[in-house]
Amino acid sequence: MAEKRNKGLKESWRKFIVSLKKRPHNIAMCMMAIAFIVYSFNLTKISNTTAVVNRPYMGLCEFVIMLFSILAFVVFLNAYPKRQKPILPMVILLYVLQAAIIAADFLYLTRIREGLATIEITAARQFIPQAQSMLTIHIVLVVVSVVLIALIPVIGKLLSKIDTSVVLAENKDVSLELTDDK
């Protein structure tokens, strides 16, 4: 029973690696999705921070981060079509969107730091430092996704070196017969 389960796990792992070999850009897309999910799940803290700190362009930064994160997914899917080479203008647009997200994060963090000079952090306002730390994490995740996007060709070459072929007993017999004939 355990041996059958291990074979099933090995086969599912092999299929997973094969799918990554076909589409190595999915690794970068997963990191983009993680960054988007982290930001989305903490949007309440960001909105509350915007309401309390209330500095210029904070709401705009919040909007830009959400909008460009969603647009980055659409551009990413268009930049890396199935079984085709990447479309360079879309890849460049993807980098521009990611850079704008990072810039908006930095601007928002700057506005929070400016606002903390006049605002006292109480127990009811603990969401402000939590928003700060979340934005720092978001910046790191977006930077990691940009690095992964840049490394897609390298990752693809590394994945292609992994042997995912299935060795069957029938294949061994045929190869032995071919070598015996020579």
Q: Are 34 and 72 in contact (CB under 8 A)?
A: no
Q: Is 91 helix (H, G, I), strand (E, B) or coil?
A: helix
56 backbone φψ class: left, alpha, beta (φ>0; ψ -120 to 50): beta
Residue 148, SS3?
helix
Report the distance separating Cα 64 and Cα 56, nearest Å: 14
Position 148 scores a pLDDT of 95
| DSSP-based three-state secondary structure for 126 | coil
Cα 59 to Cα 118: distance, rounded to the nearest angstrom: 19
With 0-12 / 13-18 / 19 or more C-beta atoms within 10 angstroms meaning exposed / middle / buried, residue 101 is buried
Query: Higher pLDDT residue, 113 or 2?
Result: 113
Question: Rounded CA gap, 1 and 3, in Å?
Answer: 5
| Domain boundaries, position 150 | 2-181
* Rounded average pLDDT over 52-61: 91
User: What are 130-172's pLDDT values in tens digits?
Assistant: 999 999 999 999 999 999 999 998 988 888 887 777 777 665 5
Q: What's the CATH number where 7 sits?
A: 1.20.140
Q: What is the DSSP string of 51-88?
A: HHH--TTHHHHHHHHHHHHHHHHHHHHHHS-TTS---H
Q: How far apart are CA 150 and CA 131, in angstroms?
A: 28
pTM to 2 decimal places: 0.82
Domain total of the chain? 1
Return all residues near 100 (Cβ < 8 A) that are at least 6 apart.
Answer: 64, 68
pLDDT in tens, 7-40: 778 788 778 878 878 888 889 999 999 999 999 9
Residue 181 pLDDT level (bands cut at 50, 70, 90)? low
